[in-house]
C-alpha cells in the first residue's frame, strides 16, 4: 500500500493537460517561480513533507542555506530582506517545522518585512486526519502573516507564487505563507507564469490625496516648531532623499524611531536623534513641545508615545502611512494622509515654501546640551556604550548591525547611528530575543562584501546560537559581540527600578540564585554557563573575552581581520543600565536621564 504515490498519480492524472508544453512537477514550478522572482538564497531545513522541493533545489540556480532551526531560517530570510529591500525566502516541512517558523514570521509581520515562507504539508487526502507531522499551518500562520495560501491544485501553484511575492513586497510589506501538500509538489502540469497580477480586493494606495497634502503644507507653513517623526515605513519606502529635501527646505528638525535608524543621516544639521522609551532627552522633549508633528511611516507605538494623555498635547498631527488602518489607531490626527511615504513627502517638499526655524532649533540644541547621551569613560570596568562607540569608529559607521533584544539593543540604537538605510536590523515591534544572530547571517549572504556585526546579549544569543553551525558550514563571516552582564539585563533593570530588586529568574550564572545576595557575581567572574569562548571553539569559531575599555580596540580589530566568524565576549557590570528611560506608563517629559 502506498497512499502517497497513489495520491500523486491521481492528482497528476486529473491535471494532465492536452498540451505539448513540457510538464513540470509542483516542486519544479516552485523553483522556476522563485528564479523568476529574482530569489538568490533560501533558508531552511528539509523534512518528509517538503523533500520533493529540496530535491528540485538540488543543482538549481538557487543557493540553499541549511539552517539548524526553522526559527533561524525565518530570521535569516528576514535579515536578508531588511538589508536589501528584496523578498527573503524560508522553507520548512509540515507540523513542527511549520510551527517553528511562527516567531520569525510574527517578527517580520510586526516590522512590515517582505518574506515568503514555504512549508510542506501532508498529502491532500490526509489533511484533517491527524496524520504524522500534520498541523493546520495556514490556521496557525493567519494571524502572523500579511496573507497565506494553501495550494491544493498544482495548476494554481505558479499563480500563487507570483501573487505571494507581489503581496509581500507591495503596499505595506509583510510575510506571506504558502502551504504546499506533498502530493501537489509531485503532481505535474505545464509551467505557465502569469505576467501580471490582478487582485480585485488588494490595491495599495501610493499617492496621497491632493487636498490632504495641501492641508499638511498649510499647517507646516504656519508652524513655528515643526518636527518630522520618522519611522520604519520611511525606511521601507526608500524616502531618505525626500525627507532630506523637506527638512532642508522647511528647516524641520528630525527625530526617528528604533526602526528608522539610518533613514535620515545622523550627520545632517537637522538630525536630532532617536526618541522613545530609551531615546534621547532632546528628541523626547522636542516631541512634547512641537506645534506640528509629521509622522512619516511611524505608527505612534506605545514605546514612543509613553502616556497618551500627556503626549504632545499642543501639536497638530499629520500622519503619513500606506496602511490606512494605522492612521488614528492610537493617536487622533488632524491630517490623515494615506499613501507611500516617499511619494507623499516628495510632493510636500516640492510645494512647500522655504522657511527658517532658528529659534526652535536653538531650543532643541539647548535640550541636547543639557542632557546628551553619556557614559563614564574612566570606569574601571568595560562600558558597553564605549564598546559600541568604538565599533562605530572602527567600522566608520558603515557596518550592517543586527541586534537581539534587550539592553544591548538599546545601547546599539543609541551609539551606532547608521550612515544609510538598511544597515540597522532589529526586532522593533515584536521584540524577539534571538533575532540578531540569524538576521546577521541572512544579511551576510545578501551583502558578502560588507562588514556584518551581530550585537547580542548573553540571554538573547543563547536562544539561537545553534546557528553557529550554519555560519561555519557556509563559511559566512559574521562578527558576534556578546555583551555579557550575567543577567537577562533589561528584565533585571526593571526589577531593580520597579520591583524592589527582587531578581526573580533573571540571573543566568551558575549560582542560579534569584536574589542579589547569593547570586550576584562581580564583573569578570567566570561563573557563567556556558563558557562562550569554549562553546564557539567547539564549532571552530575563534573568540576572545574582554573586561576593560582598553581591550576593546584590539578585540574589534582582531575580529575584523579574522578570515572567518569571530566572537567577542564583553564582560560588563550587572549594574549597568540603559538611560535615558521613560518608565512604562509615564509621559515623555517624565524621562529619567540617569540615577545620579
Rg (CA), the chain: 25
132 CB-contact burial (10 Å; exposed 0-12 / middle 13-18 / buried 19+): exposed
Q: What's the pLDDT score for residue 8? A: 46
Provide the edge-to-edge strand list for the sheet that holds 542-546.
Answer: 424-425, 400-403, 452-457, 479-484, 566-571, 542-546
Set of cell numbers at residue 300:
505612534
For β-strands 23-25 and 188-190, DSSP reports them as antiparallel
Set of cell numbers at residue 501:
530588586
The single residue listed with the C-alpha cell 504632545 is: 312
589 CB-contact burial (10 Å; exposed 0-12 / middle 13-18 / buried 19+): middle
Average the pLDDT over each of 184-198, 238-252, 582-596 and give the range with the smallest value: 582-596
Q: What's the pLDDT score for residue 12? A: 47
- With pLDDT > 90 as the criterion, what percentage of the chain qualifies? 87
Question: What is the CA angle 476-405-46, rounded to 5?
Answer: 45
| d(C-alpha 587, C-alpha 582), whole Å | 7
Measured in whole angstroms, how far is the alpha carbon of residue 527 from the centre of its chain? Answer: 33
> Cβ neighbours of residue 515 under 8 Å, at least 6 residues apart?
502, 503
- Spatial contact of 271 and 250, defined as CB atoms under 8 Å apart: no
Is the peptide bond preceding residue 580 cis, with omega within 30 degrees of 0?
A: yes
Nearest residue to 52 via CA among 73, 30, 23, 37? 30
Question: Which pairs with CB-CB distance under 8 Å and at least 24 residues apart come from 557-561?
Answer: 557/394, 559/479, 560/394, 560/395, 560/451, 560/479
- Residue 19: which pLDDT band, with cuts at 50, 70 and 90? low
Using DSSP, state whether 318 is helix, strand or coil.
strand
- Spatial contact of 11 and 184, defined as CB atoms under 8 Å apart: yes
Nearest residue to 124 via CA among 67, 164, 208, 181? 181
| d(C-alpha 240, C-alpha 230), whole Å | 10
Set of cell numbers at residue 161:
507564487
- Spatial contact of 96 and 133, defined as CB atoms under 8 Å apart: yes
- Residue 1: which pLDDT band, with cuts at 50, 70 and 90? very low
Question: What is the CA angle 178-182-183, rounded to 5?
Answer: 115
Nearest residue to 43 via CA among 17, 87, 11, 75? 75
> What is the mean predicted confidence (pLDDT) over 291-312?
95
pTM (2 d.p.): 0.94
Using DSSP, state whether 196 is helix, strand or coil.
coil
Average the pLDDT over each of 49-58, 265-274, 322-331, 506-515 and give the range with the smallest value: 506-515
Set of cell numbers at residue 166:
507581489
- Describe the chain by its helix, strand, coil percentages, rounded to 5: 40, 15, 40
Q: What's the pLDDT score for residue 150? A: 98
- C-alpha torsion 584→588→593→596, nearest 10: -70
| pLDDT(520) > 60 | no
Q: What's the pLDDT score for residue 511? A: 65
Q: Express each pLDDT in 475-498 by its tens digit.
A: 999 999 999 999 999 999 999 999
| d(C-alpha 235, C-alpha 271), whole Å | 16
Stated as kind and residue range, the H or E segment containing 240 is: helix 240-250
Q: What's the pLDDT score for residue 379? A: 82
The single residue listed with the C-alpha cell 497513489 is: 6
Q: What's the pLDDT score for residue 18? A: 56
| d(C-alpha 144, C-alpha 588), whole Å | 30
pLDDT averaged over every residue in the chain = 93
Q: What's the pLDDT score for residue 349? A: 98
| d(C-alpha 476, C-alpha 186), whole Å | 33
Q: Express each pLDDT in 44-99 by its tens digit.
A: 999 999 999 999 999 999 999 999 999 999 999 999 999 999 999 999 999 999 99
Query: Looking at the chain, how many residues does it have?
Result: 596
Q: What's the pLDDT score for residue 547? A: 93
Set of cell numbers at residue 23:
510538464
Nearest residue to 145 via CA among 161, 165, 122, 168? 168
- Spatial contact of 580 and 277, defined as CB atoms under 8 Å apart: no
Average the pLDDT over each of 420-434, 508-522, 544-558 and give the range with the smallest value: 508-522
What is the sign, positive or negative, of the torsion defined by CA atoms of 133, 138, 143, 146?
positive
Nearest residue to 249 via CA among 222, 270, 232? 270
| pLDDT(527) > 60 | yes
- Spatial contact of 263 and 247, defined as CB atoms under 8 Å apart: no
Q: What's the pLDDT score for residue 243? A: 98
DSSP state, residue 154: G
The b/e string for 547-586 (b: 16+ C-beta within 10 A; e otherwise) is ebbebbeebbeebbeeeebbbbbbbbbbebbbbbbbeeee
| pLDDT(273) > 90 | yes
Give helix then strand counts, H and E, for the chain.
Answer: 24, 20
- Residue 581: which pLDDT band, with cuts at 50, 70 and 90? very high
Stated as kind and residue range, the H or E segment containing 493 is: helix 489-498
Q: Report the phi/psi class of residue 138: left, alpha or beta, with left for phi > 0 and alpha for psi in -120 to 50.
A: alpha
Q: Express each pLDDT in 119-149 by its tens digit.
A: 999 999 999 999 999 999 999 999 999 999 9
> What is the mean predicted confidence (pLDDT) over 216-244?
97
- With pLDDT > 70 as the criterion, what percentage of the chain qualifies? 94
Report DSSP letters for 350-395, one per residue. HHSPP---HHHHHHHHHHHHHS-----TT-SSB-HHHHHHHHHHHT
Q: Express each pLDDT in 428-466 by its tens digit.
A: 999 999 999 999 999 999 999 999 999 999 999 999 999
| pLDDT(514) > 80 | no
Stated as kind and residue range, the H or E segment containing 285 is: helix 281-289
Amino acid at each position: 500500500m502506498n497512499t502517497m504515490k497513489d495520491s500523486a498519480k491521481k492528482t497528476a492524472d486529473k491535471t494532465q493537460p492536452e498540451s505539448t508544453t513540457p510538464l513540470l512537477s509542483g516542486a519544479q514550478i516552485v523553483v522556476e517561480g522563485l528564479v523568476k522572482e529574482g530569489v538568490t538564497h533560501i533558508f531552511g531545513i528539509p523534512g518528509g513533507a517538503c523533500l520533493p522541493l529540496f530535491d528540485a533545489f538540488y543543482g538549481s540556480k538557487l543557493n540553499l542555506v541549511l539552517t539548524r532551526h526553522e526559527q533561524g531560517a525565518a530570521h535569516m530570510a528576514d535579515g536578508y530582506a531588511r538589508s536589501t529591500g528584496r523578498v527573503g525566502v524560508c522553507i520548512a516541512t509540515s507540523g513542527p517545522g511549520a510551527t517553528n517558523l511562527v516567531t520569525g514570521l510574527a517578527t517580520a509581520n510586526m516590522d512590515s518585512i517582505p518574506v515568503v515562507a514555504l512549508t510542506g504539508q501532508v498529502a491532500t487526502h490526509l489533511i484533517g486526519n491527524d496524520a504524522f507531522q500534520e498541523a493546520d499551518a495556514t490556521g496557525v500562520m493567519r494571524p502572523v502573516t500579511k496573507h497565506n495560501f494553501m495550494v491544493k491544485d498544482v495548476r494554481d501553484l505558479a499563480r500563487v507564487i507570483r501573487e505571494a511575492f507581489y503581496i509581500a513586497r507591495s503596499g505595506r510589506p509583510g510575510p506571506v505563507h504558502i502551504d504546499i501538500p506533498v502530493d501537489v509538489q509531485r503532481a505535474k502540469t505545464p509551467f505557465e507564469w502569469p505576467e501580471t497580477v490582478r487582485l480585485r480586493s488588494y490595491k495599495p494606495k501610493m499617492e496621497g490625496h491632493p487636498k490632504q497634502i495641501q492641508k499638511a503644507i498649510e499647517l507646516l507653513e504656519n508652524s513655528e516648531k515643526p518636527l518630522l517623526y520618522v519611522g520604519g515605513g520611511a525606511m521601507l519606502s526608500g524616502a531618505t532623499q525626500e525627507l532630506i529635501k523637506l527638512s532642508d527646505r522647511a528647516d524641520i528638525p528630525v527625530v526617528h524611531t528604533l526602526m528608522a535608524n539610518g533613514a535620515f543621516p545622523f550627520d545632517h544639521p537637522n538630525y536630532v536623534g532617536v526618541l522613545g522609551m530609551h531615546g534621547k532627552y532632546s528628541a523626547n522633549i522636542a516631541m512634547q513641545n512641537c506645534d506640528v508633528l509629521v509622522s512619516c511611516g511611524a505608527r505612534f507605538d506605545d514605546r514612543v508615545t509613553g502616556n497618551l494623555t500627556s503626549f504632545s498635547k499642543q501639536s497638530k498631527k499629520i500622519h503619513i502611512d500606506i496602511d490606512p488602518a494605522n492612521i488614528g489607531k492610537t493617536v487622533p490626527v488632524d491630517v490623515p494622509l494615506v499613501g507611500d511615504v516617499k511619494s507623499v513627502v516628495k510632493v510636500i517638499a516640492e510645494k512647500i515654501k522655504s522657511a527658517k526655524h532658528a529659534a526652535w532649533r536653538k531650543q532643541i540644541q539647548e535640550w541636547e546640551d543639557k542632557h546628551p547621551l553619556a557614559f563614564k569613560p574612566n570606569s574601571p570596568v568595560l562600558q558597553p556604550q564605549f564598546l559600541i562607540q568604538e565599533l562605530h569608529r572602527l567600522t566608520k559607521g558603515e557596518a550592517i548591525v543586527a541586534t537581539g533584544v534587550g539592553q544591548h539593543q538599546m545601547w546599539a540604537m543609541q551609539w551606532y547611528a547608521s550612515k544609510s538605510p538598511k544597515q540597522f536590523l532589529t526586532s522593533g515591534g515584536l521584540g524577539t530575543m534571538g533575532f540578531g544572530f540569524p538576521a546577521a547571517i541572512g544579511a551576510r549572504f545578501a551583502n558578502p562584501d560588507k562588514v556584518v556585526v551581530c550585537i547580542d546579549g548573553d540571554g538573547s544569543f543563547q536562544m539561537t546560537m545553534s546557528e553557529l553551525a550554519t555560519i561555519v558550514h557556509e563559511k559566512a563571516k559574521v562578527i558576534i559581540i556578546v555583551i555579557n552582564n550575567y543577567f537577562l539585563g533589561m528584565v533585571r533593570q526593571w526589577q531593580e527600578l520597579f520591583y524592589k530588586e527582587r531578581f526573580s529568574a533573571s540571573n543566568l550564572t551558575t549560582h542560579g540564585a534569584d536574589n542579589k545576595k547569593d547570586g550576584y557575581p562581580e564583573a569578570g567572574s567566570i561563573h557563567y554557563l556556558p563558557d562562550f569562548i569554549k562553546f564557539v571553539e567547539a564549532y571552530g569559531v575563534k573568540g576572545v573575552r574582554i573586561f576593560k575599555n582598553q581591550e576593546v580596540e584590539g578585540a574589534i580589530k582582531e575580529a575584523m581581520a579574522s578570515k572567518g566568524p569571530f566572537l567577542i565576549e564583553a564582560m560588563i557590570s550587572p549594574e549597568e543600565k540603559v538611560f535615558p528611560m521613560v518608565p512604562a506608563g509615564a509621559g515623555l517629559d517624565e524621562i529619567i536621564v540617569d540615577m545620579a
